[in-house]
């Protein structure tokens, strides 16, 4: 990360941290470890990020948009510096779960050889950080700042925390209405999340949706805001 000019690291439920082995392996980049955010859940780690990309070793079934590393880097740089973006890397052995992926706007897939496509976590991180670095340098060579490449929007993109608040509100209302059955809600809930993640909502749109939900259930609003 540090060799590519990236320093904002978040660790979710690390197995052992801080750890002297991690510091030794950092080889002078241990300031990134010292300043890392350590949290018990992914939602907290994503917090104020408005664009989340999950790294996947394979193309997934379902309807997550899949982009290559260069496209990922362009999308990340387009969000900076006004809003945050995050790349989510899963454990090396198991990768990201569907619950993790449900918080992502898109997936990034490194197109390795179909004959032998094995990449360990460190290699994958380096490839993605390199592409972000190249996108930043490309902006500099063009004589533009990163901010000049940002998307023009009527309102700021919704943050991960704002999206989670909306999904919690929607989930509560649909569960009490009987639309989401408590015994079999997972697949439908995942599809609903994917639908709204593809919409790439801004803060105004989140407010409209939350207002619509509240209008359908004014008593629920009173329970949430006593």
CATH number of the domain enclosing 16: 3.40.1280.10
Give the pLDDT of residue 117: 80
Q: Is 127 found in the same domain as 194?
A: no
200 Cβ neighbours under 8 A, 6+ residues apart: 105, 157
Give the pLDDT of residue 110: 92
- CA–CA separation, 136 and 132 (whole Å): 6
Give the pLDDT of residue 29: 92
Exposed/middle/buried for residue 74 (C-beta within 10 Å: 0-12, 13-18, 19+): middle
Q: 95, 116, 149: which is the final residue of a domain?
A: 149
Give the pLDDT of residue 147: 52
**Strands 37-39 and 10-12, bridge-based pairing:** parallel
Helix residue ranges per DSSP H, 12-53: 20-26, 30-34, 42-46
Give the pLDDT of residue 223: 55
C-alpha distance from residue 219 to each of 25, 56, 175, 211, 214 (Å): 54, 41, 15, 13, 8
Q: Is 46 found in the same domain as 142?
A: yes
Give the pLDDT of residue 145: 53
175 Cβ neighbours under 8 A, 6+ residues apart: 182, 185
CATH number of the domain enclosing 192: 1.10.8.590
Give, for all 226 residues of the chain, the pLDDT tens digit. Answer: 999 999 999 999 998 888 999 899 888 899 999 999 999 999 999 988 989 999 987 665 556 789 999 999 998 888 877 678 999 999 888 888 888 988 999 999 999 888 988 888 999 999 999 999 999 898 777 765 555 545 566 788 899 999 999 999 999 899 888 888 777 667 888 888 888 988 889 999 999 999 999 998 867 655 555 4
Give me the residues paired with residue 66 across strands: 107
Give the pLDDT of residue 55: 92
62: left (phi over 0), alpha (psi -120 to 50) or beta: left
Structural domain that includes position 184:
160-224
pTM: 0.80
Count the domains in the chain.
2
Would you call 108 helix, strand, or coil by DSSP?
strand
Q: Is 103 found in the same domain as 31?
A: yes
- For the chain, the farthest-separated pair of C-alpha atoms sits apart, in whole angstroms, at 59
Q: Which two tokens stand for residue 102?
A: 């449900």
Q: Is 112 found in the same domain as 67?
A: yes
Helix pair angle (69-79, 121-141), 10° resolution: 60
């Amino acid at each position: 990360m540090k060799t590519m000019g990236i320093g904002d690291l978040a660790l979710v439920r690390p197995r052992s941290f801080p750890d002297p082995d991690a510091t030794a392996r950092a080889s002078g980049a241990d300031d990134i470890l010292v300043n890392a955010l350590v949290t018990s859940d992914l939602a907290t780690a994503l917090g104020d990020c408005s664009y989340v990309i999950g790294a996947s070793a394979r193309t997934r079934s379902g309807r997550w948009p899949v982009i290559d590393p260069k496209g990922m880097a362009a999308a990340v740089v387009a969000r900076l510096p006004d809003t945050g973006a995050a790349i989510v890397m899963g454990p090396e052995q198991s990768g990201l779960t569907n619950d993790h992926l449900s918080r992502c706007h898109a997936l990034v897939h490194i197109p390795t050889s179909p004959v032998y496509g094995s990449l360990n976590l460190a290699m994958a991180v380096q490839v993605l950080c390199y592409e972000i670095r190249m996108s930043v340098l490309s902006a500099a060579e063009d004589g533009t700042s990163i901010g000049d490449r940002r998307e023009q929007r009527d309102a700021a993109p919704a943050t991960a925390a704002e999206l989670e608040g909306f999904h919690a509100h929607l989930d509560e209302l649909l569960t009490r209405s009987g639309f989401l059955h408590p015994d079999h809600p997972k697949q439908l809930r995942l599809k609903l999340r994917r639908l709204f993640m593809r919409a790439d909502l801004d803060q105004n749109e989140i407010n409209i949706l939350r207002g619509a939900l509240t209008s359908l259930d004014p008593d629920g609003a009173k329970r949430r805001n006593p």
